[in-house]
Amino acid sequence: QHLENSLQLNTVLSSKEDIENAVDSLTQNIHRAASASTPSEPEIRPRSYGIVLTREARELIRTKRRLRRRAIRTQDPWDRILWNRAAKQLKVVLRELRSDFFEQKLSSMDYTVDANYSLWKCTKALKRQPLRWVPVRCPGGEFAKNEVEQANAFGFHLEDRFTPYDFATTEQIRETHQYLQMPLQMSWPIKPIRIEE
């Protein structure tokens, strides 16, 4: 509809410049119509329940990454020692941040209406099954749309995975079967020997 409102169908196309201008105008109108009809993306707000990194932690992350690049590039033992030391410092700082965050979160939780049942919501979130993010592909290449197709695709995958290789010829297989069908002992066992003999 945006395109219909902005198009001018009675333009004169008598020269090269008129054709160029008409094509440019049509292209601009198509771009405007596409941008007007495309829904705007909702604002992605940062989550308020995550652990907030301090300036010290961010600086340690930068330092660790820089030292890692240098240690891998130079293969110097001293650079590797510095990288490991920075990684340990970062681990300690992140552990403290996590423990402080969870301490604060647990102290503010309650099971009453005033706290909006935050304790029960947290428990429910911990018990929830994780969502599957990876789509399953059928043997034909298309995505599996329901659980039956997913089960069939998994069955085909297992069948392909556990099918033995055909290394042996039919003659080798026949010889192996004959060897396995032969009696184990062709003669009597040796009599046990006594110590006196």
Whether residue 121 is found in the same domain as residue 89: yes
Give the domain extent around 138. Answer: 131-178
Q: Which residue, of 127, 144, 159, is where some domain finishes? A: 127
Rounded CA separation 53/49 (Å): 12
Quick one: which of 139, 141, 164 has its CA closest to 152? 139
Residue 192 lies in a domain: no
Q: Are 30 and 60 members of one domain?
A: no
Block means of pLDDT (10 residues each) for the chain, 197 residues, are 72 82 85 78 58 91 96 93 96 93 80 69 77 79 88 90 78 87 72 75
HSE-CB for 179 with a 13 A CA cutoff: 6
The reply to whether 86 and 122 lie within a common domain is yes
pLDDT at position 44: 57
Contact status, residue 92 vs residue 57, Cβ threshold 8 Å: no
